[in-house]
């Protein structure tokens, strides 16, 4: 079973995230703490690219009420993860 999380919307990487709960390597109903995307809901009618652009246009802010990690890079995350052209 896979461990870790790399958000396909914002590029947030959390290698300490728990294994997938559904056993199918799918983040269905999980919510990215960085951009707030709820997988299986937000991405049903909007592409990851479109969600990424909305997040970037909104200032690429940390979404979760929990403190952002010290290495949070916001606008740089998608590029670092190879998600930006």
pLDDT tens digits for the chain (85 residues)?
456 778 999 999 888 776 555 555 566 678 899 999 998 899 999 999 999 999 999 999 999 999 999 989 899 999 999 997 5
**What is the pLDDT, as a whole number, of residue 60?**
97
**What is the pLDDT, as a whole number, of residue 5?**
79
Dist. CA 77–CA 32, nearest whole Å: 13
What's the token pair of residue 79? Answer: 């590029």
pTM: 0.83
Dist. CA 84–CA 60, nearest whole Å: 14
Q: Bridge-partner residues for 14, per DSSP?
A: 5
**What is the pLDDT, as a whole number, of residue 2?**
52
**What is the pLDDT, as a whole number, of residue 36?**
96
Residue 80 domain boundaries: 1-85
Residue 12: partners with Cβ closer than 8 Å, 6 or more residues away:
5, 6, 32, 33, 34, 35, 77
Number of domains composing the chain: 1
């Amino acid at each position: 079973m896979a461990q870790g999380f790399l958000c396909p919307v914002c590029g947030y990487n959390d290698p300490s995230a728990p294994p997938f709960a559904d056993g199918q390597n799918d983040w269905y109903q999980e919510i990215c703490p960085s951009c707030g995307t709820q997988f299986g809901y937000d991405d049903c009618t909007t592409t990851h690219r479109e969600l990424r652009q909305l997040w970037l246009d909104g200032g690429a802010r940390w979404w979760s009420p929990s403190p952002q990690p010290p290495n949070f890079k916001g606008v740089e995350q998608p590029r670092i993860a190879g998600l930006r052209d």
